[in-house]
Structure 1
């Protein structure tokens, strides 16, 4: 397998991760953290880059990807959880969100069209282009890795280089949010990128791309995934730091509500009338590559578990779903998605960490079962709370848990449950070397 093939796959993986949400988080972090930018961006990179890297590798190390990871709990749990992951992060959230963000932060920034038909016409064009690129999975590496990613990086580089040359690095105030524990706050901000869940979906795209480039053995697939993930991770670290630095040094006393306003403002200062066009182009390219990757991932996954429908049939289905859901508007998409993502994201993180840990310890099914059960309890509470249900009894019961107020109350209980489960199997002298892969 040639090195430049792996390099292009790494470029593709970078573009799949780098959507509009990732574009707007770092600048706001830089603006709010001020002189505490260093520890804040370091924390952000741990959960915004390292955790997705771990997820991609966890999928690559499994013979049946995400399903095998979930099967550590139970075979049927593995199937159902994988389906929920692909439908939530893809068809009913990630794909329509990419189109909606591309319209609201990209197209509208460039042309400022306030028309109810505007989003429909834009999404129709957007998904037509997405459909044409996604139709042939073997060409996705070439189309994204060789063309779209370099173009995205080139446009970003214009903004970043001009910012480094024009903006002065002076002392800036620290917001209350980042005053006491900037590193931990940065970790939480990276956590909310949701890229660890997206990485579970993108794993199948990388594996299939490597197979198309003649990687056959398990060792070749793992090595190719590792190199591709390192390429993507290096690019993400560079871009996140640069975008965060722009927010850190941008001049003026303007109170920004989000990272999109910061980058638009920076573009206006640096490029005057062409600022909105530059920012709009960055957003639309980022959203397009992410959308293509999600449709490819969802179509490949469902084609594997139900091959009676062809890959192209699934592409058509997910494009149509994305087109319809995206016309509900970004606010409605986020409203529906928040409780679902609040439930699946902690469980996904536990599966990622335990799946990687299992390669250096004895296998323990009880460890997976107890850790996932405890995490699911906390995650269900967060999901129900996010839709406004009053759960005062459970709140008083759970709020003694460390990091509960930040939505991370599940972390310590899950860790303790995993230790207990592992200890139970050790005491029973019961290494689980034959994980249940079939019902």
Structure 2
């Protein structure tokens, strides 16, 4: 029986952490903090539930089913499980998350020097995705390239950025705006969706399991054990990063007042705190952070799609990178606006499947319980998605007055009610 060395376990934890810390993780906490103002730590609490708690739980759940999201969602039935799995892979792969890593790293680190024209973004994204392709073509080396080289660089730069946030005092903390006035916790909860960490965890699960196996570990209990340790290390790291970025956003009003997005806040803050050198440092940090996430997502998506099709892994790498390259050239603002409604629809059923993954042994028939609850979560998730997309005028009036509808959590109570009903029926039947 092969065991991982301590240094391999630490590298695995760093790799897991580095896979999560990408574009969304860095740009969303500062804007949440600036808009939440005096309610920042209430918003941070809600944000950490979906941006840290759920991803850690997801990795643990996946470690019990060989890292496969399709096995985790198998109680939904073959077709529904396939649809959910493909939707998650596409969302965190070539449709949203992977292209976003390129656009965020460009806007924060390079646009101020080379301009924001479409041709400049085209050249930058071509170079960026060339690096992603080169490393992604050799997935068996990911623990060596990401765990031992890129992750330490990424973590060191985040420590410098996060540490500086606590050295700069917040001269002015404004009143909260928008939904942060009356419901900061739930608003933070929903904004945690935008990091895509829970969906990312569903995809990264197989990458982490394969990294463990690449060191000769084949015992399922040991694989689960090491995956749990890695997820906890990454969870601690994510929490520390987010807290420092919330503090940074709280101190950003002088450097970037009323910013439109977190990228503007980060650039303004670093320029204010460190000068021109800080801008170079931020550009390098964001480039490495986003690159690591893009590599992990590409490897995971190519691995999955090569399993369900007759196309080889390496061909899928080129297909996925090519698609991500095209989407990334739409620009960050359009990308975020397009992704939010779809994420609002996908997240609720994904959360249900993840949480139910720990409860199979309590059901007489897992499909009888999990499928109806997931269906209800998906239906109400679509309603939330339409509201976020400002298409709620197509909905009946009563749907805008559902409990927690204002917080975009209308799916929660119906899902719990249906769960109680189907679980009771399941216990009454053999």
| Length-normalised TM-score, structure 1 | 0.90
1:169: how far off?
5.3
**Corresponding residue to 1:343 among 337, 345, 363:** 345
Equivalent residues in 2 for 1:382-397 (5 A)?
382-385=384-387, 389=391, 391-392=393-394, 394-397=395-398
Per mean C-alpha deviation after superposition, the further-off stretch among 359-368 and 196-205 is 359-368
What secondary structure sits across from 2:357 in the alignment?
helix
Q: Do the aligned residues in 1 keep the contact of 2:165 with 2:244 (CA within 8 Å)? A: no
- What residue in structure 1 maps to residue 33 of structure 2? 30
The question of 1:296 aligning with 2:299 is answered yes
State the alpha-carbon separation in 1 of the partners of residues 327 and 194 from structure 2. 22
Q: Tell whether the 8 Å contact from 1:107 to 1:284 is kept in structure 2 after alignment.
A: no
Report the more deviating stretch, 373-382 or 404-413: 373-382
The more displaced of 189-198 and 139-148 is 189-198
Tell me which residue corresponds to 1:424.
425
Cα displacement (A) at 1:351:
0.7
User: Which of these residues, 94, 98, 111, is aligned with residue 97 of structure 2?
Assistant: 94
Tell me which moved more, 151-160 or 45-54: 151-160
State the partner residue of 2:77: 74
| Structure 2 residue corresponding to 1:319, chosen from 321, 333, 343 | 321
The change in CA–CA distance for 1:400 and 1:250 in structure 2 (over 3 A counts) is closer
Q: Decide whether aligned partners of structure 1 residues 182 and 334 sit closer, same or farther in structure 2, where only a CA change above 3 A counts.
A: closer
* 2:348–2:381 contact (8 Å) kept in structure 1: yes
C-alpha separation in 2, matches of 1:170 and 1:387 = 36
**Cα RMSD between the aligned structures?**
2.2
User: Residues 412 and 303 from structure 1, CA distance in 2 versus in 1: closer, same or farther, beyond 3 angstroms?
Assistant: same
How much does 1:391 deviate? 4.5
Give the TM-score taking structure 2 as reference length: 0.92
Deviation at 1:104, TM superposition (A): 2.0
Pick the aligned partner of 1:130 from 117, 122, 132.
132
Cα deviations across residues 26-61 of structure 1 (Å, max 9, x unaligned)? 222333334433333222212210011111122221
For 2:226, the equivalent position in structure 1 comes to 224
Deviation per CA, 1:117-155: give whole Å up to 9, x if none.
211111111011011111111111111111112112222
CA distance in 2, matches of 1:162, 1:210: 35
Equivalent residue, structure 1, for 2:380: 378
Q: Which residue of 2 aligns with 1:162?
A: 164
CA distance in 1, matches of 2:17, 2:288: 12
What corresponds to 1:274 in structure 2? Answer: 277
Which of 262, 265, 272 is equivalent to 1:259? 262
- 1:400-420: CA deviation from partner (whole Å, max 9, x where unpaired): 322112221001101111121
Q: What SS does the corresponding residue of 2:98 show, helix, strand or coil? A: helix
**For 1:135 and 1:388, how far apart are their aligned partners in 2?**
41
Structure 2 portions without partners, runs of 5+: none
2:61 matches 1:21: no
3-state DSSP of counterpart to 1:268: helix
Counterpart of 1:55?
A: 58
Q: Residue 399 of structure 1: SS of its match in structure 2?
A: helix
Aligned counterpart for 2:243 among listed residues 220, 241, 244: 241
Unaligned residue ranges in structure 1 (runs of 5+): 430-439
Query: Which aligned runs of 4 or more in structure 1 are off by greater than 6 angstroms?
Result: none
SS at match of 2:54: helix
SS in 1 for 2:173: coil
Instruction: Please give the alpha-carbon distance, in whole angstroms, between the structure 2 residues aligned to 1:26 and 1:331.
Output: 17
* Contact 1:14/1:232, CA 8 A, preserved across alignment: yes
Deviations 1:291-324 (CA, angstroms, capped at 9, x unpaired) = 1011011011122223x33221211221121122
3-state SS of paired residue (1:117):
helix
What secondary structure sits across from 1:149 in the alignment?
A: helix
Partner deviation per Cα, 1:379-409 (whole Å, 9 max, x = no partner): 23334455554555x4423233221122210
The equivalent residue for 1:328 is 330
Q: In 2 relative to 1, CA 269–303 (structure 1 residues): closer, same or farther, beyond 3 Å? A: same
Q: Distance in 1 between matches of 2:369 and 2:249?
A: 42
Contact 1:364–1:421 (8 Å) recurs in 2: no
Is 1:214 the counterpart of 2:212? The answer is no
How far did residue 171 of structure 1 move? 6.7
- Counterpart-to-counterpart distance in 2, 1:345 and 1:225: 23
For 2:425 and 2:289, how far apart are their aligned partners in 1? 47
Q: Check if 1:5 corresponds to 2:2.
A: no
2:184 matched residue in structure 1 = 182
Structure 2 distance, partners of 1:365, 1:28, is: 40
- Which has the larger displacement, 274-283 or 183-192? 183-192
